[in-house]
């Protein structure tokens, strides 16, 4: 009998197994081995325990009180093919106008610090270039810090009735500032019923640009694949009007691009500021004819507005946008399952060893 076999025989006897006598040299040998194997599995079991305690709490918090689960925001999401073709249109309009109107080019070159039109276009990017364009109707914020009235909004009958309904967004113009490039939306009467944004909230301190953080440049963002387009003449009250929208719903917009370090939320502020300037209509405001019809106006400080003769009709669906925090629960679950299986695997290994 080898030493190993002796130990095995001794250990398999009930005495050695149950009493774990420290005085027994063989038992000590096995016990030490046992501890060595058990330590990682105990640790893993320990790690998985909190997940099992936290998970049911999380699930209860979200499903037990279903009312607290709100999307990050509600809005109109442009159908993919309309979204792509409208982006294409918008970049083309910007490129054409830069090439045709020297004053415009000079000012934009100055504030973007870019010389060439292609580089100016790349200066404005979208954070998620693969997402369709959207017009936010109501911003809720993130649980548990919802904005006041978020719960009430989601419970409104008109909101519930309009969820997943298709309607047409009317894009009646564009704005360009040192911060943002955006499309100006004129909401219909029915869309206004869903509108819940502050139409008078402009940029906090005008000249201040936020700290530069570089958003990855994705060059194919202006070149999505599928195209569908629907445009028509401007409504008579919009045509040739240098303040085509104001008041209720006038902040409605699509963010087409932001300069480096600027958040999409700024487009709405820029639009509010411009609408206020349109109302003042100072003598220093310059008007230029657009090459393909319509007007371009400069309100100073690099703030430009396009008043085209055509509007674009964008098929859209009203719904909520989830911020994607539900993933944490699943993550905790898979992590604890992983820990458990590891613990089992190690324990099984140890048993076979005996």
Ligand X SMILES: *[C@@H]1O[C@H](CO)[C@@H](O)[C@H](O)[C@H]1NC(C)=O
Sign of the torsion angle spanned by Cα atoms 264, 268, 271, 272: negative
Q: Which of 168, 203, 317, 323 binds ligand X (CB under 6 A)?
A: 168
Does 109 bind ligand X (CB under 6 A)? Our answer is: no
Does 230 bind ligand X (CB under 6 A)? Our answer is: yes
* Among the residue ranges 41-49, 130-138, 188-196, 322-330, the one whose residues contact ligand X (CB under 6 A): 188-196
Q: Which of 290, 313, 338, 347 binds ligand X (CB under 6 A)?
A: 313
Q: Which of 128, 198, 334, 341 binds ligand X (CB under 6 A)?
A: 198
* Among the residue ranges 20-28, 193-201, 292-300, 344-352, the one whose residues contact ligand X (CB under 6 A): 193-201
Q: What does the longest C-alpha to C-alpha distance in the chain come to? A: 108
Does 243 bind ligand X (CB under 6 A)? Our answer is: yes
Contact of 302 with 149, CB cutoff 8 Å: no
* Among the residue ranges 18-26, 65-73, 106-114, 331-339, the one whose residues contact ligand X (CB under 6 A): 106-114
Q: Which of 49, 192, 345, 349 binds ligand X (CB under 6 A)?
A: 192
Q: Which of 128, 188, 200, 328 binds ligand X (CB under 6 A)?
A: 200
In three-state form (DSSP H/G/I as H, E/B as E, the rest C), the secondary structure along the chain is CCHHHHHHHHHHCHHHHHHCCCCCHHHHHHHHHHHHHHHHHHHHHHHHHHHHHHHHHHHHHHHHCHHHCCCCEEEEEECHHHHHHHHHHHHHHHHHHHHHCHHHHHHHHHHHCCCCHHHHHHHCECCCCCCCCEEEEEECCCCCCCCCCHHHHHHCHHHHHHCCCEEEEEEEEEEECCCEEEEEEECCHHHHCCCCCCCCCCCCCCCCCCCCCCCCCCHHHHCCCCCCCCEEECCCCCCCCCCCCCCCCCCCEEEEEECCCCCCHHHHHHHHHHHHHHHHCCCCCEEEECCCCCEEEECCCCCEEEECCEEEEEEEEEEEECCCCCHHHHHHHHHHHHHHHHHHHHHHHHHHHC
Per-residue x/- mask for ligand X, residues 20 to 49, rule CB under 6 A? Answer: ------------------------------
Q: Which of 248, 292, 341, 348 binds ligand X (CB under 6 A)?
A: 248
Q: Which of 201, 237, 289, 353 binds ligand X (CB under 6 A)?
A: 201
Does 246 bind ligand X (CB under 6 A)? Our answer is: no
Q: How far is the CB of 191 from ligand X (least distance, A)?
A: 9
Does 146 bind ligand X (CB under 6 A)? Our answer is: no
Does 88 bind ligand X (CB under 6 A)? Our answer is: yes
Scanning residues 268 to 307, which ones bind ligand X (CB under 6 A)?
A: 281
Q: Smaller CB distance to ligand X: residue 192 or 337?
A: 192
Q: Smaller CB distance to ligand X: residue 195 or 350?
A: 195
Question: Which residues contact ligand X by CB under 6 A?
Answer: 85, 88, 92, 107, 110-111, 168, 192-193, 195, 198, 200-201, 227, 230, 242-243, 248, 281, 313
């Amino acid at each position: 009998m080898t030493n190993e076999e002796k130990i095995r025989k001794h250990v398999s006897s009930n005495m050695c197994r149950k009493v774990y006598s420290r005085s027994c040299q063989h038992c000590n040998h096995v016990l030490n081995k046992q501890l060595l194997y058990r330590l990682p599995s105990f640790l893993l079991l320990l790690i998985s325990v909190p997940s099992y305690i936290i998970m049911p709490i999380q699930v209860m918090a979200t499903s037990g009180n279903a009312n607290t689960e709100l999307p990050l925001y509600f809005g109109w999401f442009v159908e993919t093919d309309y979204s792509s073709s409208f982006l294409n249109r918008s970049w083309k309009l910007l490129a054409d106008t830069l090439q045709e109107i020297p004053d415009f080019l000079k000012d934009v070159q100055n504030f973007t610090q870019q010389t060439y039109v292609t580089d100016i276009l790349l200066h404005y990017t979208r954070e998620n270039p693969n997402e369709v364009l959207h017009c936010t109707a109501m911003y809720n914020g993130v649980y548990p810090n919802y904005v006041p009235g978020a719960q009430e909004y989601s419970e409104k009958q008109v909101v519930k009735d309009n969820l997943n309904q298709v309607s047409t967004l009317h894009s009646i113009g564009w704005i360009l500032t040192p911060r943002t490039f955006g499309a100006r939306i004129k909401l219909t009467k029915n869309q206004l019923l869903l509108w819940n944004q502050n139409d008078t909230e402009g940029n906090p301190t005008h000249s201040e640009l936020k700290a530069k953080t570089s958003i990855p440049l994705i060059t194919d963002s202006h070149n999505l694949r599928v195209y569908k387009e629907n445009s028509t003449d401007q409504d008579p009250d919009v045509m040739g009007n240098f303040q085509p929208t104001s008041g209720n719903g006038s902040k409605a917009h699509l963010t087409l691009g932001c300069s480096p370090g600027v958040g999409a939320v700024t487009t709405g502020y820029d639009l509010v500021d411009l609408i206020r300037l349109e109302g003042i209509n100072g003598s220093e405001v310059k008007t230029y004819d657009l090459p393909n019809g319509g007007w371009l106006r400069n309100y100073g400080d690099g703030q430009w507005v396009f008043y085209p003769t055509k509007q674009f009709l964008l098929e859209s669906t009203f719904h909520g946008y989830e911020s994607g925090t539900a993933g944490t629960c699943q993550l905790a679950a898979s992590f604890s399952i992983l820990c458990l299986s590891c613990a089992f695997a190690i324990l099984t290994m140890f048993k076979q060893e005996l």
